[in-house]
Structure formats: C-alpha cells, structure tokens
Homo-oligomer: A and B are copies of this chain.
Amino acid sequence: MNDSVIAPGSTFTIRKETLHDQVADRIRDLIIEGHLEPGTRIDEARLVEQLGVSRTPFREALRTLAAEGLVVIRPSRGAHVRKLSREDIFSMLELLARLESFAAELVCKRATDADLAGLSDLHDRMMGFYAIRDRMPYYKLNQEFHTQLTALTGNSALIETQGNLQARLKRIRFMGNRNPDLWAASVGEHEEMMAALMQRDGNALGAVMERHLLNAWDRVADTF
C-alpha cells in the first residue's frame, strides 16, 4: 500500500535526478530538436558554461548519449553529434518497421479492449489535427501513437529498443512529411491500421505497419 501523502508522479514529488541525468536529458533534447546539428563538435567548455555545471557530470552525460548512439566520442578528440549516413537511417527504419510490425501483432493478441479504445482516441485526436493541417501537434500525437502501441505489448525489451530508435530518428522524421501528398498517404495508412486494430487482425496490422514505416523512408530519403 502507498502511505505517501502525495500522489506518486505528481508535481509535488521531489524527483531527485542526478545532475548527469539532467544534463543528458538536456543535451538529448538539444540534439533531437536540432539545436545541435549532426556532425557538430560538442564544445565541452562552452556547454558546461551554458548549463552551469562542472565537467564531471557533463562528461558522464556524454558517455550515456554515446551508448545511446546519439553522440560519437573519439579518444582525445572530443565528442561530436552523430551524423547518420543514408545507410544508417535506412537501417534504422528497416529495423523499426519490423519491430513495430511485431508490436502490432502482439497488441492484437494481448491488449484489452480499453487499451484499444485508448489508441482509437489518440488516432481520432491526431486526425483532428490533420483536418486543419496543424503539423506539429499531429506529429506529436503520431509519435505517441506508435509509442503507446508498443507499450501495450508489455515486452520491455521491445519497448526500450523501439524508444531508442524512435528518439534517434525523431528529428529526421519531423523534417519529412512536408509534402502534402506524402502526408495524406501516411494518414491513409493510419486509417488502415485503426481498421485492422479494431478487428484485432494482427497479420493485417503488422503488414500495414511495416509498409507504413518503410514508406517513411521515401518521405525522408531526399532530405539529406
């Protein structure tokens, strides 16, 4: 039983995050949001100064990001924001396509009706933003849909891996989707997915999902 006066996860709970975790989060955002361009050298002195922390937690944070694949550290030559090659990105999308296709199958087997209703709701809100062509909130709900679908598999390793890939691809995928036709196609695939999902047709859902993510390649392939 929970004896705490304060509800867990509320804004009152003092979340004690170490400095290096905060720094890692911060740099991760800077990279994902594009404030730190791929290939850029990470200027330790400058960032340390800007963030107001010492080098120790900063460097620990860098090691975390390196393990996550967002940053590359060359001994004695500093850290750079990892620059993904075409092949890297294709690899990641190809893998993500399979992972989420798998997730789709599992969800059809394992999720409760309430879970599916939640996804449906997410989908509807997303479509609301498509209707008025509001790109940013659409994009965010889209990400959330994929995250949530994966979460419902209950497979922690899958959830972690999908999350990592999604994070790494985040910026790149946001750059895509600016062509109205491609956006419409993407929306169409989402409609197909919802249909399959409601019937718990795992094979169909998996197939659409894989196609959906492989198509994502076409939507970003020319942007670099």
A158, B102: Cα distance in complex, Å: 15
> Which one of A13-21, A141-149, A194-202 is at the interface?
A13-21
CB of A63 within 8 A of CB of B98, answer no
A91, B103: Cα distance in complex, Å: 12
**How many copies of this chain sit in the oligomeric assembly?**
2
- Judge if A160 is at the interface, Cβ distance under 8 Å: yes
Which residues of B sit under 8 angstroms from A102, Cβ to Cβ?
95, 98
Instruction: Known contacts A16-B75, A68-B67, A98-B102; decide if A157 and B59 are in contact (CB<8 Å).
Output: no
CB of B63 within 8 A of CB of A158, answer no
Chain A interface residue count, Cβ-Cβ cutoff 8 angstroms: 33
Interface string of A161-202 (1 = CB under 8 A from B): 100010000000000000000000000000000000000000
A40, B162: Cα distance in complex, Å: 29
For chain A residues 30-89, which have a beta carbon within 8 Å of chain B? 56, 59-61, 63-64, 66-69, 75-76, 87-88
Instruction: Known contacts A16-B75, A56-B56, A98-B98; decide if A157 and B91 are in contact (CB<8 Å).
Output: yes
Name the one of B60, B63, B157 contacting A92, with C-beta atoms under 8 angstroms: B157
Known contacts A56-B56, A63-B64, A69-B160; 10 additional CB pairs below 8 A are A16-B75, A21-B75, A60-B63, A61-B63, A63-B63, A87-B156, A91-B157, A91-B158, A95-B158, A98-B99
| Cβ contacts A to B, 6 pairs, < 8 Å | A16-B76, A60-B60, A63-B63, A87-B156, A88-B156, A98-B102
